[in-house]
Amino acid sequence: MGLFGFGKTSVHISRSIYEEIQRHAKEAYPNECCGVLVGANYGGERKIFESHRAKNVNTDRAHDRYIIDPAEFNLIDRMARTQSMDVMGFYHSHPDHPDKPSETDREWGQTGYSYIIISVKGGKDTTMRSWMIDDEDAPFTEEKIKVLENQ
């Protein structure tokens, strides 16, 4: 069973946000990009209405680690709440690595959030998958990305 007992979850995202996340990953290459996903949960369907680019403040290992500034995260979270939305998750890129969570991703990951990972090969080709942690001690499970054309 997935989060909140709904089975395998899915994350709904507009084509424009999907493409913006891909663009961000390509622009940041060969470093990791990162960002915050804002939206709402409707009957087990996670809907992303906004993506916010965040600065990767990990300057020592930007090529394979990301850290979002807590002050920047708090600002995005407050803005989302004023619009009756929530932080639904995060995205980050894996330059020249698969779009699957690393050990570090699992170590830092928290339950209840979607984690979209973008694999960027050579700064050009991208693939994207979303992951979620259902239980504190569980591994990541993949959630389906549904790209919506009319939003």
Q: Which residues are catalytic?
A: 32
| In contact, 113 and 128? CB cutoff 8 Å | no
- CA-derived radius of gyration, the chain: 14
Q: How many CB atoms lie within 10 A of CB 112?
A: 14
Please report the beta strands in the chain, taking only residues with DSSP state E, as ranges in sequence order: 10-14, 34-42, 45-54, 86-95, 114-121, 125-133, 140-148
